[in-house]
Amino acid sequence: MTEERHIHRSGICQAGKWGEGLIDLLGDICKRFWAIAFVLGCLSSVTLNAEDRFDVAVRPPLGPVDGVLVLCPGMNGDGSHFLAEKPWMDFADQHNLGVIALKFSSDSELMYGPERQGYYWPEQGSGDALLQAIEENFGVDQNIVIYGFSGGAHFTSRFVEWVPERVLVWSAYSAQFWDSPKSNDKSPPGIVACGEFDGGRWFPSYAYFYEGREMGKPWTWVSIAETGHFRKGPFEKFVREYFGAVLSGKHEKEWPVFIDIDTEEQATGSYSDFTQPELLTWLPTEDFVAKWRQVHHP
């Protein structure tokens, strides 16, 4: 820096070198400008991410577990209440699962605006935060069972597509918008659901299911009768039973079951016989045909 100041002073005092000194002076100004711009850019980046919080609530394990149940509440919600919900805790005990409830939050304007920035996208930090929490509390490489409602469905659907090899089964209920599913070597069974009266969320949810079925993913569609944007006990009971069937491996011991989502009729014949397999919902076992009809409204 001392040398640069000397050059500038020399350029001003010596008329014969005025042009050279002016160029050097302007060059120094430009360097300083871009240095300031770089710092401000970094500060802006920090500010944009300052709203992100990746906290979790953990049910302390009593011993080694066979996997981890992750429960995801609505947008920016505190999922601690799940740890006090007996049906979910009984399910975790039955299948020897650790339990983590998300307490993630981000700036809602950035998540729902054109920036698409926040914890809904696991590749932006929330996914690594969850995997780290699982490892710290339950050990490395634990399999994951994940359920999310509303904002939690946003995170769930994208997390499954982000690390499908870690997820055994999942359910995403009533997200407002979805990213198109990816073609992965592994595609775990899952439920895409929305309430029949849930305004602008129903069609995007159905469209996401349709896209996944176009790709041959083993997904189940549930349109919940006379239901707006709220959690539904009978549906969550269906989710737990569905999860249990997959965890027990029953779906691997029987032929796949497909049901027409409109007529509710069970499809017969080989999968390749159907002209629109996207309209067929996948079910883990024959036992779930009646159970699905109880919660689904075509």
Q: What is the chain's mean pLDDT, rounded?
A: 84
pLDDT recorded at residue 182: 93
Cβ 155 vs Cβ 118: under 8 Å: no
Compute the distance between CA of residue 46 and CA of residue 126 in angstroms, rounded to an integer. 16
pLDDT recorded at residue 34: 35
Compute the distance between CA of residue 68 and CA of residue 89 in angstroms, rounded to an integer. 12
Structural domain spans, the chain? 2-46, 53-295
Q: Which stretches of the chain score pLDDT less than 50?
A: 1-23, 25-27, 29-48
For residue 143, give the nearest of 59, 243, 250 by alpha carbon: 243
For residue 136, give the nearest of 68, 79, 53 by alpha carbon: 68
pLDDT recorded at residue 72: 98
Looking at domain 53-295, does it have CATH number 3.40.50.1820?
yes
pTM: 0.81
> E-strand spans in the chain?
53-59, 68-72, 98-105, 144-149, 167-173, 190-195, 219-224, 257-260, 280-283
Q: How far is CA 262 from CA 129, 239, 266, 279, 280, in A?
A: 40, 20, 11, 8, 9
Tens-digit pLDDT profile for residues 32-58: 433 333 323 332 222 335 579 999 999
